[in-house]
Structure 1
C-alpha cells in the first residue's frame, strides 16, 4: 500500500506541469504569429527594409549565440512573452503615427490638386489675388483699371507731333520719309511693320497713327495682338500712361492666349506705376504672375522683377 501511494504521488508530481507547458506553447505560437503579421505589415507599408522602421533580423546577442552573462537574471516564458508584447505595441504605435502622417500629407496634396484642377483656364483671374472690380472682364468697364476716364475706348492717336498751327516741320517730315515701308506682298503685315519702324525710330505720334489704322483695318489679322500692344507702348513711351493703359488692357482682354497678351498685362502694370496707382499696379503684377507663370519665369523675367522692385505690394 505504501509503495502504491508513493507511486501515485510521484505520477501526480510528474504530470502536473504538462497543462502549463501546453499553455505556454500555445501562447508562444500565437505571439510568433502576431510578430510575423506585424513584420509583413511593415514591409507592405515601408518596402525595402529601412532600418529606421525595422529592427535588425540578427542582433548582437544573436550574433554571439544569444549567450547571456553568468550574472544575468534568468527569464521565464511569461516575462519573455510580456517583453515581446511590449515591443509589438511600440512597433504598432510607430506604424500608427507614420500612417497618420502619410494620411495628412496625402490629404494636403489632394487639396492642392483640387485647387489646381479648379483653377480657371489660362488668362482667367485668380480670385484670391484679383478683384473682378479691379480687373474687369469686359471692355465696357475699362475705367475700373485705367483710373475712371469717361471714355471706355482708347483715344484716337494724334495726327502729328507738331504744333497744330504750323504742322510738322520740314525736318521731321524728311526724317519720317526716310523710314521705308515694307513691300512683302502681305499688306496687313506691311502696315504693322511700318508702324513698328516708326515707333523704333522714336516717331511716336506717327507710329500711333499708323498702328491705329492697322488695328482698325485688320482686326482679325494674326498680327493684331502685336499692333495693339505696340500702340500702347507708343503712348507709354511718349508719356501718355493713361491712354497706354487702355490699349494694354484692351489687348489683354481681347485674347488672353494671344502671343502679346502677357506683354500687355505686364506693360499695364508699368502704366499704373507711371500713374502712381500702386494698388492697381500690384493687381496687374499679381495677375501676370498667376496667369503666365512660364513667361514670368522666362522671356519676361527681367522686366517682371524690375517692375516688382519699383513698388511695394506687401503693404
Structure 2
C-alpha cells in the first residue's frame, strides 16, 4: 500500500514536472512565431517599398522626370512648334516684301513706258531745268557766278522733278519713225542689279549717239539711284550727253554736281575737267582757267596719267594768267 502510494505520488510529481517544464517551452514557441510574423511583415513592407507594383516583375525606372510645381503650368508647345511658327512668320514677311518689290518694279516699268510714249509724241522730257552756264557754277570750286540768282543761294543744282513744257507744234521736233525704230533696237540689260541696268541702258544710248534719249535715261538713273556704285559715272555721263549734244550750259551743272557730291568718286576728276571744257565752249575763260587749276591741284595723278591728253588740250585752248 505504501509502495503504491509512493508510486502514485511519484507519477503525479513527474506529470507536474512535465507541466511545469512544458509551459516555458510553449511560451517560447509562441514568442518565436510572433517574431517570425513580425519579420515577415517587415520584409513584405520592404518589398512593397522596393517593388511598389505589387509584383516581383515590376520595377520603377531609374530615371524619372522631375515633378512640376503645383502652380507651374505644363508647356503647351515644343521647340519644333516654335521653329515652325517662326518659319511661318518669315514666310509671311518675305511674301510682303516680294509684293512690295513687284509693285515698285511695275511702277518703274509704267514710268518708263510713259517716258517713251511722251518722247514718241514729242511731249515733255525729263531733262533738268537749268539756267545759263555762269549761273550754274557754285562758289565751292572757286568759280563764282557773275550774275543771276545763284550768286545769293550758292550752287544751282539741276531740278530733280521734271517740269512740264509746251509740246512742240512742228512736225520737225518729233522723232522720226526711223529714229524710234533705231532706239528700240537698243536693248536694256536685265540683271539682278536694276540700278546698273538703268545706267548701262543710258550708256548704250549715249554710245549710239542718241543724246536726248540718253539724257532722259541717265537723269532717271541719277535721281533714282543717288547712292549707287555707278552714281559718279551716271552724273558725269549725263553731263557729257548734254555737252556732246552741243548744250554746254545744261552740261555744266551736272559736272559741277558730280564733283561737289563726291570728290573721291570714280568720275569726279573727269567731271571737273569736262566742266572746264564746258566753260571754254561758253567762252568763259576765267572760270575755265579756275576749273583747270582746280583739276591740276586736286587730281595730279589724272593730270599726268589717264586724262593728260585732254587736260593739256584744254589748257592749250585758253590763256590763263
Question: In angstroms, what is the RMSD of aligned CA positions?
Answer: 2.8
Give the equivalent residue in structure 1 for 2:157: 153
Structure 2 length normalisation: TM-score?
A: 0.51
Aligned pairs (5 A) from 1:1-315: 136-137=139-140, 144-145=144-145, 148=148, 152-154=156-158, 165-166=170-171, 167-314=174-321
Partners of 2:147 and 2:204 lie apart in 1 by 31
Q: Which of the two has higher C-alpha Rg?
A: 2
Structure 1 length normalisation: TM-score?
A: 0.52
Residue 137 of structure 1 aligns to a residue whose secondary structure is helix
Partners of 1:287 and 1:164 lie apart in 2 by 44
Partners of 1:182 and 1:236 lie apart in 2 by 25
Give the equivalent residue in structure 1 for 2:41: none
Residue 139 of structure 2 aligns to a residue whose secondary structure is coil
Shift of the 163–230 alpha-carbon distance from structure 1 to 2, 3 Å rule, reads same
Which structure's relative contact order is higher, taking Cα pairs within 8 Å and 6+ residues apart?
1
Any stretches of 5+ residues in structure 1 without a counterpart?
A: 1-133
The answer to whether the Cα contact below 8 Å between 1:192 and 1:214 also exists between their aligned partners in 2 is yes
Partners of 2:202 and 2:148 lie apart in 1 by 29
Partners of 1:248 and 1:146 lie apart in 2 by 19
The answer to whether the Cα contact below 8 Å between 1:146 and 1:245 also exists between their aligned partners in 2 is no
CA apart distance, 1:153: 2.4
**1:244-294 deviation digits (Å, cap 9, x = unpaired):** 111000100001011100000000000000000000000000000000001
CA apart distance, 1:147: 6.6
CA apart distance, 1:184: 2.4
Give the equivalent residue in structure 2 for 1:70: none
Partners of 1:247 and 1:282 lie apart in 2 by 19
